[in-house]
């Protein structure tokens, strides 16, 4: 079998040779990846004369059966999940260079509907027009026929690696925008490794069928790496089914193409917003992984989300976050699709879902729902500067409705901010990466489930608190008397009203008597206003106090600096 890196280099060279000067480097992937898909499809159809069989079958039944019955007849005859009934492929297009543009359009229209839908979402028209007007369409088609992607030379796994390698390179070239749809592979490998780290004993042997779902699948990297890891590290014989949904049409096309050319089911990758257009309403999945957009408004989905949130036990009934950040909505969507027998969820967040929102807010209520259900297993803090388009702090959450006995009622925090290597050159904001060695160390820390310098374990209620309202007496400004209601109770002074957060691990009355009453003897608690909240203030739990330097150390440093500056001044003045 061919080496995937050699094939990727060959395709890369084709793109660079033909597109240089006509397209900007960040556009290379937009035209090259679709052609890679077309070439692979040609090679599959070339095997066993499938293309000729498809054309002959079409001619045989065309006009004799209804249009909707013809496609399944052709697919059954050639034993594939797609076909092309035009007289052209990339190789045959070379025979008529003078009509390359017209024939190329005929070639694309000859594909079955699912392939045409993919191509349409690639938005190729503008690129093809530019290639044709600059006399490079024929050259580009010709060059791609030199890349042998026949299944007997390149199996599905290798084809997936070629696609993934090129996608990575093209994404790095356009790193300013690619971060919206492409997660760096070191992060994906860590996430997948954590997701599959436990319950391995149930996943070995014959007959194992498992599903992996990504509701914001982008170009599909999390899905393909998830399957690759499962096959290589856990069970090579398992039947792993990949499913996903993606909002962006072009990115959806890339992902669906990847599924098509690697033998997966492309129909399992669906288009639309998972928040307002759930394409898997009855779906339940074993493993779910995603990197939803950070800090993105969900106003466009607000109508559907708020309507659903009003229904008890719906996806969003636990609460809705502020409209400027829909991250926790994606997590709720995933949790609604857990299998009763047990599912595992891995998601990448920025810091906001950990602590944004006071008690009673949508964010806090969602955290409360998750933690009181005992679904949150682990939060891992990632190094900064891991992503192409942001340098903010990020975290991996691992959740499950099937915690091991040792983990029940507990949440593990792992501080991995120092587990990185520097890159030789930055790719946008990405300046560091997590090596395989560090991934192994972090997975070991996770599975050991023991407290260390970088790992803390707390009971669930450690992260909860009751927000209590502290009232103080209202005093008559003129007489100085305490104003009272009809029952003789002192009236509260709204101007002096305050609140306190009492940890769930403490009794509220004991806390009041110890922490509040001694300082505010005229105060009392209005317990009718109690609100329970949850937050995870990650950095606080790993904070290490640095003692202040002594005055003598500071004075000595100042004197040393003064002596240095005096010597420099004398040197400048020639003294």
Q: What is the CATH number of the domain that holds 294?
A: 3.40.50.150
Question: In this structure, is residue 206 part of a structural domain?
Answer: yes
Question: What is the domain range of residue 474?
Answer: 463-539
Longest dimension (CA), the chain: 107
In percent, the amount of the chain with pLDDT more than 70 equals 95
Residue 167 lies in a domain: no
Percentage with pLDDT > 90 across the chain:
69
Reduced to 3 states (helix: H, G, I; strand: E, B; else coil), residue 431 is: strand
**Same structural domain for residues 24 and 118?**
yes
CA 284/CA 382 separation, integer angstroms? 29
Residue 425 pLDDT class (50, 70, 90 cuts): confident
Residues 240-255: tens digit of each pLDDT: 999 999 998 988 998 9
Based on the domain organization, do 475 and 516 belong to the same domain?
A: yes
Tokens of 150: 């026949």
pLDDT tens-digit map of 18-59: 999 999 888 888 899 999 999 999 999 998 899 999 999 999
pLDDT in tens, 457-499: 999 999 999 999 999 999 988 898 999 988 889 999 999 999 9
CA atoms within 13 A on the CB side of 306: 8
**Angle in degrees, 0-180, between the axes of helices 156-173 and 28-46, rounded to the nearest 10:** 170
pLDDT above 60 for 345 = yes
My answer on whether 555 and 425 are in the same domain is no
**pLDDT score of 281:** 93
Judge whether residue 439 has pLDDT over 90.
Answer: yes
When mean pLDDT is compared across 82-91, 157-166, 429-438, the lowest value belongs to 157-166
In 422-442, which positions are buried (b, 16+ CB within 10 angstroms) versus exposed (e)?
A: eeeeebbbbbbbbeeebbeeb
What contacts 17, CB < 8 A, 6 or more positions away?
143
Indicate whether 10 and 95 sit together in one domain.
yes
What Å distances lie between residue 50 and 103, 187, 522, CA to CA?
20, 40, 88
Q: For the chain, how far is it from start to end, CA to CA, in angstroms?
A: 77
Quick one: CA dihedral 561, 562, 567, 569, positive or negative? positive
Confidence of residue 177 (pLDDT cuts 50, 70, 90): very low
CA 469 – CA 451 distance, rounded (Å): 36
127 and 180 together in one domain: no
In this predicted structure, the answer to whether residue 329 has a pLDDT above a threshold of 90 is yes
Mean pLDDT for 148-169 is 86
- Looking at the structure, tell me whether residues 101 and 205 fall in a common domain: no
Last residue of a domain, one of 124, 155, 186: 155
Could you tell me if 472 and 504 lie in one domain? yes
The per-residue pLDDT for range 65-91, each reduced to its tens digit, is 888 889 999 999 999 889 999 999 999
Is residue 394 assigned to a domain? yes
| Residue where a domain stops, chosen among 391, 414, 449 | 449
pLDDT of 2 above 80 = no
164 assigned to some structural domain: no
pLDDT of residue 566 exceeding 70, the answer is no
Least confident of 198-202, 348-352, 442-446, 505-509: 198-202
Determine the Cα–Cα distance for residues 179 and 172; give it in Å rounded to an integer. 9
Angle between helices 327-335 and 362-372 (to 10 degrees): 30
Q: What is the average pLDDT across 423-445?
A: 91
In a domain, 544, yes or no: no
The pLDDT, as a whole number, for residue 219 is: 85
Based on the structure, what is the number of domains in the chain? 4
390 and 308 together in one domain: yes
Residues 6+ apart with CB under 8 A from 43: 148, 149, 150, 151, 154
The highest-confidence range among 170-179, 479-488, 521-530, by mean pLDDT, is: 521-530
| Mean pLDDT over the full length of the chain | 91
Q: Which pLDDT score, from 0 to 100, does residue 546 have?
A: 63
Nearest in space to 534 (alpha carbons), one of 329, 334, 356, 317: 356
Residue 182 within any structural domain of the chain:
yes
The full DSSP string for 64-89 is TB-TTTHHHHHHHHHTSS--B-SS--
421 found inside a domain: yes
> Cα–Cα distance between 19 and 31 in angstroms, integer?
9
Q: Are residues 445 and 497 in the same domain?
A: no
The token duo for 59 is 């001619």
Of 426, 449, 472, which residue constitutes the final position of a domain?
449
Give CA–CA dist 259/257, Å, rounded: 5
Nearest C-alpha neighbor of 250 from the set 177, 186, 184: 177
Q: Which of 212, 209, 155 is nearest to 188 (CA)?
A: 212
- For residues 533 and 555, membership in a common domain is answered with no
**47 and 13 within one domain:** yes
In which element (H, E) is residue 572 found?
A: helix 551-573
Question: Taking the mean position of all CA atoms in its chain, how far away is CA 107?
Answer: 36
**Count of residues making up the chain:** 575
Burial code (b: 16+ CB inside 10 Å, e: under 16) for 164-176 equals: bbbbbbbbbbbbe
Residue 567 pLDDT greater than 70, yes or no: no
Q: Is there a domain that residue 397 lies in?
A: yes
Window from 162-176, 317-331, 387-401, 447-461 with minimum mean pLDDT: 162-176
Residues 430 and 330 in one domain: yes
């Amino acid at each position: 079998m061919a080496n995937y890196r050699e094939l990727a280099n060959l395709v890369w060279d084709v793109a660079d040779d033909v597109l240089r000067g006509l397209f900007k480097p960040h556009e290379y992937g937009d035209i090259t990846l679709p052609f890679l898909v077309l070439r692979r499809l040609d090679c599959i159809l070339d095997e066993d004369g499938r293309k000729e069989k498809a054309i002959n079958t079409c001619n045989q039944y065309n006009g004799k059966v209804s249009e909707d019955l013809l496609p399944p007849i052709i697919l059954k005859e050639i034993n594939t999940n797609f076909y092309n009934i035009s007289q052209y492929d990339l190789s045959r297009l070379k025979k008529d260079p003078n009509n390359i543009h017209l024939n190329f359009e005929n070639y694309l229209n000859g594909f079955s509907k699912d392939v045409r839908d993919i191509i349409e979402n690639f938005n190729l028209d503008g690129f093809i027009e530019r290639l044709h007007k600059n006399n490079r369409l024929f050259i580009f088609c010709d060059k791609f026929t030199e890349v042998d992607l026949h299944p007997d030379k390149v199996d599905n796994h290798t084809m997936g690696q070629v696609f993934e390698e090129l996608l990575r390179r093209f994404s790095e070239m356009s790193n300013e925008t690619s971060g919206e749809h492409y997660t760096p592979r070191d992060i994906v490998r860590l996430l997948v490794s954590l997701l599959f780290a436990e319950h391995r004993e149930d996943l070995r042997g014959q007959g194992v069928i498992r599903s992996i779902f990504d509701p914001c699948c982008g170009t599909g990297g999390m899905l393909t790496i998830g399957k690759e890891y499962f096959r290589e590290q856990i069970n090579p014989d398992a039947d792993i089914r990949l499913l996903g949904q993606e909002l962006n049409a072009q990115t959806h096309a890339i992902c669906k193409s990847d599924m098509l050319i690697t033998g997966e089911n492309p129909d399992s990758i669906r288009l639309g917003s998972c928040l307002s257009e759930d394409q898997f309403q009855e779906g339940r999945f074993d493993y779910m992984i995603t990197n939803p957009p950070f800090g993105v408004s969900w106003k466009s989905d607000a109508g559907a989300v708020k309507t659903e949130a009003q229904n008890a036990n719906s996806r969003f009934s636990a609460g809705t976050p502020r409209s400027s950040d829909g991250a926790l909505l994606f997590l709720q969507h995933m949790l609604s699709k857990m299998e009763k027998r047990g599912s595992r969820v891995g998601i990448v967040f920025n810091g906001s879902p950990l602590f944004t929102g006071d008690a009673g807010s949508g964010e806090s209520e969602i955290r409360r729902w998750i933690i009181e259900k005992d679904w949150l297993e682990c939060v891992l803090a990632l190094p900064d500067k891991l992503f192409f388009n942001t340098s903010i702090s990020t975290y991996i959450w691992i959740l499950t409705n099937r915690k091991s006995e040792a983990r029940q009622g507990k949440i593990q925090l792992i501080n991995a901010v120092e587990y990185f290597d520097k890159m030789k050159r930055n790719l946008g904001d990405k300046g560091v990466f997590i090596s395989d060695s560090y991934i192994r160390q972090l997975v070991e820390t996770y599975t050991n489930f023991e407290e260390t310098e970088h790992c803390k374990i707390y009971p669930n209620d450690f992260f909860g608190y009751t927000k209590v309202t502290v009232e103080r007496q209202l005093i008559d400004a003129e007489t100085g008397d305490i104003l009272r209601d009809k029952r003789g109770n002192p009236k509260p002074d709204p101007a002096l009203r305050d609140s306190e957060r009492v940890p769930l691990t403490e009794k509220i009355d004991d806390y009041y008597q110890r922490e509040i009453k001694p300082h505010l003897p005229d105060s009392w608690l209005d317990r009718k206003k109690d609100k329970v909240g949850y937050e995870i203030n990650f950095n606080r739990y790993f904070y290490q106090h640095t003692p202040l330097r002594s005055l003598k150390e500071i004075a000595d440093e100042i004197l040393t600096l003064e002596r240095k500056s005096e010597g420099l001044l004398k040197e400048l003045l020639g003294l």
